[in-house]
Every structure is written in C-alpha cells, then in structure tokens.
Amino acid sequence: MSDHNDTKNAPLMLSVSGCRGVIGRSITPEVASRFASAFVGALREDEGLGGGRLRIVFGRDGRAHSEALRMGAIAGLLASGCDVIDLDVAPTPTVGVMTEHHDAHAGVVLTASHNPAEWNGLKCLMRAPDGGRCAAPDAQRAGRIVRRFKDGRTAYAGHEGQGERSADDTGAHVHVARALKAVERIAPVESIRAAKLRVVVDCVNASGARGARLLLDALGCVADMLHADDTGLFPHPPEPLRENLGDLCDRVRATNAHAGFAQDTDADRLALVDEHGAYIGEEYTLALCAASVLGASADAGGATLCTNLSTSRMVEDVAALHGARVVRTPVGEANVVEAMLREGSPLGGEGNGGVIWPDVAMIRDSLGSMALTLALMARTGKPLSQLAAGVPAYVIEKRKVSIEGLDAAKACAAVAGAFPDARVDTQDGVRIDTGEGDTAAWLHVRASNTEPILRLIGEARTSERARALLDQAAVVIR
C-alpha cells in the first residue's frame, strides 16, 4: 500500500510553470487553495493591485478526478477576495483570451499539461502591469509567487472581503472568433473553406475538443473528432509524441484525411500527422506556422522570431528563407514571451508544439496553430507532407536522466567541459553547438521545470550523430 503522505517519489514541483504534483500526495485541495491564495497575495502586493476585489478567470483541463482540486483552488481565490469567472473545462490559451476579454486581472488554470492522469497542478497567467496582454509570468514574477507559497503567506480575506463566483461558457466562441479574424490576414477564410480539408483531431478527452470543433467547422473542414468525449479519461499517455498517437495515424489513413492534429490536455501544444498518416511531430509545428506567417507578410525581412534553446534549428532555416532572424531564449514559455514583446515578434514558441501567435494570444495555442497550418495548406495548395519536406530535415533525440543524487549545475558544467571547442550558451543549463553546415549539431542539457529530471536533447543531420551527443553527455553526467 502506498503512503499518500510520502512525497519522495511525487514531489510538488514549483517553477515558472506554477505548481504540479501527484493527486492525494503532493497536491491536495488544501495545497491548491494555499497556492491560489499565495498567487492573489503576489498580485496584490508584488504587482501593486491593492486590497480591492480582483477578477480572476479560472479554467481546468478536464482530466478526471479533478473536482476536489477545482473546488479547493476556486475556494482559495474566493476566500482571498477575488471574483472568479469560471469557464469550467477550457484550454490554457482560452483562459488567457478570456482574461483579456473580461479585462480581468489574471487567470488560473487547473492542469498538469502533458503529465499522466495522476498528476495535476495550477498554472498562473498574468496581465502586463499596464493591463495589457495576458501571458505566463516571467521568472521574477513566478519566483515571487513561489516564495509566498513556501513562506505560507496567504491572502485570505475577512467576512466582508469574500469574492463571488460566476460562470461563463462562451470561452471557445470568443477564442475561435479571435483566431478567425487573425487567420484572415494569412489566407482568406473563404479560401480555406474552399479547400474542403478533412482533418482528424485527437483531443485526448480533455479541454481542446470544443474549440477545435468550432474552429474547424468555421474553416469549412470535415472534422473527425477522435478521443473527444467529456470523460477526462486519457485513452493514451497525453503527451503528443509518436508512440502515443497510433490511433490518430490509423484514423487519418482510414479516412483519407488531409491532416491529423494532436492536442495535449490543456490544448496549448499541437503535433502534426500528414495525409499519409505519418507522424510529422511537434518540432515541425513551429516551423510550418512560421512559414505561414512569414510567407503572408510583405515585410517579413524585418521580422524577428523567438524560440528557446531546445527547439530545432528548422525555425532558423525557415526564417532565413524570408530574410527574418531568430532570437533564442531559456526554456519556458514566459522567457519566449518576454523576448517576443521586446522584439515585437509576429510569432514565437517552442519545439514541443507550442506556438505563440500574438494576433490570437500571447500564450501557446493549439487552435491558432491549426489555423496557421490549414492556411498554409490552402494558400500554397500543397499537402502537409510536401510542406514538411520543404523544411531542411534534422533529427532530434531526447533523453531523461533522474536528478536524484545529482547537482544539476555541476552536471551541466561537466558537459560544457567535455566539449572544449564548441560554442557554449549557459542561459539555461548548457547548450553546446558544434560543427558547421552538414556536420552542425547541438546538445542541450538542463533541469526540467516540471519533472525531477535532467533533460538531454541533441539535434543533428542523423540520429546516430544526435544519439552520440546524448551518450557522451550521459557518461559525463554520471
């Protein structure tokens, strides 16, 4: 029998991504309430929002067995003097869109993203200090939230300061309307509708199904919604990786669909399957969306795209074709957003299938990614396989190493020392760039923000070269 008070193998992860843990062990309704209240305290004191009523938009990724945590988190917000606009099941980007739509102060999402069903957590979204765009908090703002939580500094209010809850079920409609307005500038919606594209979407029985169906219907697609019930029971591990998407690939082939899309639980990531039922993957999502945006722009040559150190160099290749450039950041959505705001980027994101399209949201967004991909297909008249083949091919290999017993900083320093002739970037762990042209390859080693592991990522022209980099790093680390 497992000890549900033992968090050794189920630690509460606290990071720029909020809090995340295993239900009944490291995350409980009481923990959710305290974390939500600590967030409100940070908004009031650190963000200078004072002691009046705050408006918070709340949503959840729909995973089963989350009702108690949902009630705990909402109770923490209400008890801290917030009026809560409850979207119920809603993707993370929809919560961000609705936070702006309601001119709310912040958003909170109950989600563990790609983690397995027994995990859950809270993700915080914040407006800019001037009441501008809603996005994930940067490292400093997130750090203040975490410190307040660790110090036990809640913001619970007295009798007359309690908040009120209201429901809003229009989130998907508002989000899709914004996506349709934005994609019109990339390719006329009528041209997408005229293409009569057949699309299969694997929604992993989570939050993305409603918005995906509305979007695809509006774009004139024949939508085959796979794993799109409201049970919240995952039909396979929820991370949209090749090994988890056999059903989607089979369905695309069986129905002669033009494309397959795979969302994660909070629908901020998107993986692609081509018309042959072949898994293209997550890394191509950002590259193809970049091609969609830059190809539709008359002044793409002055554009700057932003992505993190762990993302494929494909995005540089696409940007170069249009005379644009790429700025690299530490891993973490907030770091990419910070660079995008600084650079005025028309697009950014991460190689995990998380595309940030400011015209829709300053948050990774699978709906915007679907719209951009379909617009590119309609504008070029090319199938998804041909569009993917037009991007220079690389192979990314990934590995995880348990962090138990390791000093992550020392491990990264050791890896840097093992490549004395390489170009080294230490913004986030260590990234090693070696070789030029066809021999070019890179390795990134960093501590995860969401799991107790070191992530090892290598990219090269061949899988053998990429794996050799990971092998070399693993030997040095151990």
CB of 171 within 8 A of CB of 97?
A: yes
CB of 107 within 8 A of CB of 98?
A: yes
CB of 225 within 8 A of CB of 251?
A: no
Collapsed DSSP state (helix, strand, coil) of residue 3: coil
Does residue 113 have an active-site annotation? Answer: yes
Rounded Cα distance between 325 and 469, Å, is 27
Q: How far apart are the first and last CA of the chain?
A: 32
Here the contacts of 46-49 (C-beta below 8 Å, separation 24 or greater) are 46/141, 46/144, 47/126, 47/129, 47/141, 48/129, 49/105
The residue annotated as part of the active site, out of 33, 113, 207, 310, is 113
In 3D space, the residue among 133, 70, 71 whose CA is nearest the CA of residue 96 turns out to be 133
Count H helices, E strands: the chain? 15, 22
Phi then psi dihedrals of residue 16, to 5 deg: -60, -15
The runs of H, that is alpha helices, within 184-235 are: 189-195, 209-218
- Two tokens, residue 407: 């000093």
Rounded Cα distance between 178 and 47, Å, is 28
Neighbours of 258 (CB within 10 A): 20
- Enter the DSSP assignment of 461: S
Look at the block and give the residue holding tokens 């008890």. Answer: 79
Strand order of the β-sheet with 325-329 is: 325-329, 304-308, 348-350, 354-356
In 3D space, the residue among 315, 149, 317 whose CA is nearest the CA of residue 329 turns out to be 315
Q: Could you give the residue numbers annotated as active site?
A: 113
